[in-house]
Structure 1
Amino acid sequence: MQKLIFSVVAIIAVVAGVVIFNSLPQPKPQALVYNPPRQMEPFILEAHNGGPVTNADLTGQWTFLFTGYTSCPDICPTTMADFKKILPQLASVADRPVKVWMISVDPQRDTLQRLADYTTYFGTEFMGVRAEHKDLYPFVNGLGLMYSIPDEGEVDYLVNHSSAIVLVNPQGERHAIFKSSQTPGKLPTVDMQQMLEDFQLITQQYHD
């Protein structure tokens, strides 16, 4: 009889613990997480290795997308270097490969060879992609990002572009966007440590 009572009490305690745990506020990412994830329009871009990339190349992996260009003096090389440092940690919390795409917003100067030299320096998980403005602009705009187009004939110019990072899930859908921090006197870059924490929560909650 006592064993039965102990068993009943133990079961009640477990059930109560589960109820209390489920009623507690669960941690949420600080990033903007799309619920449900958003479909991406069909696209065809050029990879730095010379081959085409389409929506299919985003499936089966987690992909971080951001805009940049090889002549960028500050935000782009900083973001690439930060990604290189934190990529092993990002990969450790995911059960799928983790890739990084730098979308060149300077097709006039960023040839495939130039993109290849730039992105492969950071590692094999990095890919540079490009397209002419007629295909590039709608793709970037569809990600919720932007960039400026230089006047015709300009040679020495800067390209204004978004510093946010878009996360695409293994089904090739836009899953989240990480906004950059706006601190006076500092570059508007994404907080990589916060992004790592958010990514871990996102992967734990993800079901394909």
Structure 2
Amino acid sequence: MTGIQKTLFVLIAVIAVIFGLTVHKVLNGRNQGDPAALVDAGIILLPQSRQLPALELTDQDGQAVAVNQLKGQWSLLFFGYTYCPDICPTTLAQLRELKGKLPAEALERLRVVMISVDPQRDSPQQLKQYLGYFDAGFQGLTGELADIQKLASAVSIPFIPADTSKPNYTVDHSGNLVILGPDGTQRGFIRAPLNNQKLATQLPVLVGSEG
């Protein structure tokens, strides 16, 4: 191999490496942080993002919201209800505390949305009043039970509908949170119980990983 051929070979190899790294970056997005640290904080990312079903719910102001159009920010979805005796007030209080630990830039990129698993009692007005006890910035969604069940199943947070004929009924549901990316797709979960100390470190890394 001549000197010119060796030089060309080296140049081609370098170009191939650069191209490969560029493709890898494009396909995998910007850095989302240390996977082990994310898992330790309870953040479980999906290997592939999931589209949300095309259905409409009603927010705390009585406005229709297409759930597959929750875009522009990262979203934490929590399936709960206003008459919940334990999981919901605890989780919402933790999320309020977590917001106080996050830097301003991360807060601007993040919203919290509670989706009612008890639409019979959770009117938009009821949701607004209840969420206001925790944080006026928290959003709520309610609607037809069948639509809420469809959404819950799509994001793998199923719940057991209550027997609404019983007085003071409760609803069995999960305390896990759903993570939506700014493109409106599901990116993963946050496991309950929440570890705010670790989440306060890892969430800014995650939500800062793409616009």
The alpha-carbon deviation at position 138 of structure 1 amounts to: 0.5
The alpha-carbon deviation at position 66 of structure 1 amounts to: 0.7
Q: Cα–Cα, structure 1 residues 97 and 207, in superposed 2: closer, same or farther, change >3 Å? A: closer
Q: Cα–Cα, structure 1 residues 133 and 201, in superposed 2: closer, same or farther, change >3 Å? A: same
The count of aligned residue pairs is 174
Letter aligned with residue 67 of structure 1: F
Q: Does 1:147 align with 2:150?
A: no
2:34 to 18, 27, 31: 27
Cα RMSD (Å) of the superposition?
2.0
Residues 105-153 of structure 1, C-alpha deviations (whole Å, 9 max, x = no match):
0111112211110012222320111112111100111111011112252
1:92-107 alignment, distance < 5 Å: 92=104, 94=106, 96-107=108-119
Residues 60-110 of structure 1, C-alpha deviations (whole Å, 9 max, x = no match):
111110111111111101111111111143353528432110111011111
Residues 150-199 of structure 1, C-alpha deviations (whole Å, 9 max, x = no match):
2252222111101101111111111120111xxxxxxxx22222333332
- Give TM-score scaled by structure 2 length: 0.75
Conserved 8 A contact 2:163-2:169: no
Match of 2:207 in 1: 203
1:1-208 alignment, distance < 5 Å: 27-28=34-35, 29-30=38-39, 31-55=43-67, 57-90=69-102, 92=104, 94=106, 96-180=108-192, 189-204=193-208, 206-207=209-210
Q: Percent identity?
A: 30
SS at match of 2:106: coil
- Give TM-score scaled by structure 1 length: 0.76
Measure the CA separation in 2 of the matches of 1:176 and 1:92. 23
SS at match of 1:94: helix
Q: Which runs of 5+ in 1 are unaligned?
A: 1-25, 181-188
Measure the CA separation in 2 of the matches of 1:116 and 1:152. 22
Show structure 1 runs of 4+ deviating over 4 A.
none
The alpha-carbon deviation at position 57 of structure 1 amounts to: 4.5
Conserved 8 A contact 1:119-1:128: yes
SS at match of 1:49: coil
Measure the CA separation in 1 of the matches of 2:166 and 2:144. 16
